[in-house]
Amino acid sequence: MPLTRLVDGALEATVALSFGRPGSLVRSRMAHWHEPDKGTGKVALVTGATGGIGLSIATQLAAADWDVWLLGRSETKLASACSQITARQPNAKVHALSADLTNLAAVRSAAKYLLGETERIDALIHNAGAMSHGYLRTVDGNEQTAQLHLVAPFVLTHELLPVLRATAGSRVITVSSGGMYTQRLIVTDLDPTPADYDGVKAYARTKRAQVVLNEVWATYPQAKGITFHAMHPGWVATPGLSESLPRFEKWLGPLLRSPDQGADTAVWLATAPEPLESNGQFWHDRRIRATVRLPGTATPASEATKLWAWTEERALLSGAKST
C-alpha cells in the first residue's frame, strides 16, 4: 500500500486528527494538492456563500476564473461577500442571488431568475447550513433544519435540472458533516415535535439524510449525465461554528481548520476531472469515505426510498419523476 494511503488511514482512525487541521495539512502535502486549473467560462452556484466555508468556496472558484453566483438570504451580506472577493480579485465574476432557503417560493423564484441569466451551470454547491438549538417551523410547514438541509436543496436541484443536464460534466455537491456518522436515518425523526426537538440531533440526522439523498440522486433517471457528490469539511473555524457550538470551538482551538481548508474538497469536486469517475459518493479530503462508522447506522434501501418520497412531498414535487 502506498505511504500516502497508510498515513491517510492512520489519520482517519483517530477521527480528531483527520477532521482537524492536521488531516488537511498532512494529506495536502503528501498528495501534492494543487490549486484548481482555470475554469474560464464555467458557472457555479454556491448557497450560503456569504460567510464561512461557502464564501471560501466562492472565492476559490472566482480565483480560478469561474463565474460565481452567491446565494444568500441577506442583501447586505451578499454585497459584502461580493466586495470581499472583488477586493482580492478585481476581475472576479461574482453575482448575488437573494433567497431565504426557509421559504420555498423564494427558492423557486431565485432558480427561475438564474435560469434566465445563464445557459450553463457546471457546479451547484449546496453549502448553506445551520444548527438551530430551538425548534422552528418554516412558512412551508417543515422543521427548519430539515428544510434548510434537505427540502430547499432538493427544490433547487430539481428546478435547475434542465440547465445542469444541458451542461456537460456538471456536478451537484452537498456539504454535509462528519456529525452525520452519529445518527441512523429514520425518516419519521425528520418531523420532531417541539417537545422532543434536539438541535444537535436534528442537525446530524439531516446531515445523514443529505448523504442518503445524494446516493439516490445519483441513480435518478432524470439526472442522468449529472454527477452527485457529498462531502464533509472536517471541523472548521467559521461564524456558524462559533454561534452554534462555542464550547466545542474553544475546546478544539488551534486544531480547527481554516475556511479555505474546509472548502478544499468541495472546490476540488467541482473542478477536478477525477470526481467525474464516480457518482453518489461521500468524500473528505479528496478521497471517498465510508458512510457508516458506528454499528446500527447503515441505511436500509427501504428507508432511502422513504426519504426520497418524504422530501419530494415536502418539496411539493410529487410530479418530479415526470420532468
Ligand X SMILES: NC(=O)c1ccc[n+]([C@@H]2O[C@H](COP(=O)([O-])OP(=O)(O)OC[C@H]3O[C@@H](n4cnc5c(N)ncnc54)[C@H](OP(=O)(O)O)[C@@H]3O)[C@@H](O)[C@H]2O)c1
Catalytic residues, which ones?
203
Instruction: Check binding of 129 to ligand X (CB under 6 A).
Output: yes
Q: Which is nearer to ligand X, 99 or 187 (CB)?
A: 99
Residues from 219 through 278 that contact ligand X (CB under 6 A): 232-233, 235-236, 238-241
Indicate the helix (H) or strand (E) that contains 96. Answer: strand 93-98
Least distance CB 4 / ligand X (angstroms):
24
Q: Which is nearer to ligand X, 4 or 297 (CB)?
A: 297
Between CA 73 and CA 147 the distance in angstroms is 14
Residue 227's Cβ-count burial label (10 Å; 0-12, 13-18, 19+) is buried
Q: What letter would DSSP give residue 258?
A: P
Least distance CB 109 / ligand X (angstroms):
14
- Mask of contacts with ligand X, 108-127, x by CB under 6 A? -------------------x
Between CA 23 and CA 14 the distance in angstroms is 10
Residue 253, all three cell numbers:
482551538
- Do 45 and 97 contact (CB within 8 A), yes or no? yes
Between CA 129 and CA 131 the distance in angstroms is 7
Q: Which is nearer to ligand X, 102 or 227 (CB)?
A: 102
Least distance CB 127 / ligand X (angstroms):
5
Looking at the chain, how many residues does it have?
323
Q: Which is nearer to ligand X, 72 or 199 (CB)?
A: 72
Between CA 124 and CA 120 the distance in angstroms is 11
Least distance CB 2 / ligand X (angstroms):
28
Position among 15, 31, 63, 73 found at the interface with ligand X (CB under 6 A): 73
Position among 20, 51, 153, 280 found at the interface with ligand X (CB under 6 A): 51
Least distance CB 246 / ligand X (angstroms):
12
Least distance CB 53 / ligand X (angstroms):
4
Which of 48, 49, 82, 85 has the alpha carbon at shortest distance from 64?
Answer: 85
Position among 45, 62, 128, 187 found at the interface with ligand X (CB under 6 A): 128
Position among 24, 42, 45, 54 found at the interface with ligand X (CB under 6 A): 54
Q: Which is nearer to ligand X, 154 or 167 (CB)?
A: 154
Instruction: Check binding of 100 to ligand X (CB under 6 A).
Output: yes
Part in contact with ligand X (CB under 6 A); list of ranges 29-37, 99-107, 159-167, 187-195: 99-107
Concatenate the DSSP letters of all residues of 117-154 into one string. Answer: H-S--SEEEE------SS--B-TTSSBHHHIIIIIHHH
| Amino acid identity, position 54 | G
Q: Which is nearer to ligand X, 100 or 167 (CB)?
A: 100
Q: What letter would DSSP give residue 257?
A: B
Residue 281 three-state SS: strand
Residue 224 three-state SS: coil
- Do 266 and 152 contact (CB within 8 A), yes or no? no
- Mask of contacts with ligand X, 167-196, x by CB under 6 A? --------x-x-------------------
Q: Which is nearer to ligand X, 61 or 128 (CB)?
A: 128
Please tell me the count of residues contacting ligand X according to CB under 6 A. 28
Q: Work out the widest C-alpha separation in the chain, in whole angstroms.
A: 53
Interface residues with ligand X (CB under 6 A) are 48, 50-54, 72-74, 77, 100-102, 127-130, 148, 175, 177, 232-233, 235-236, 238-241
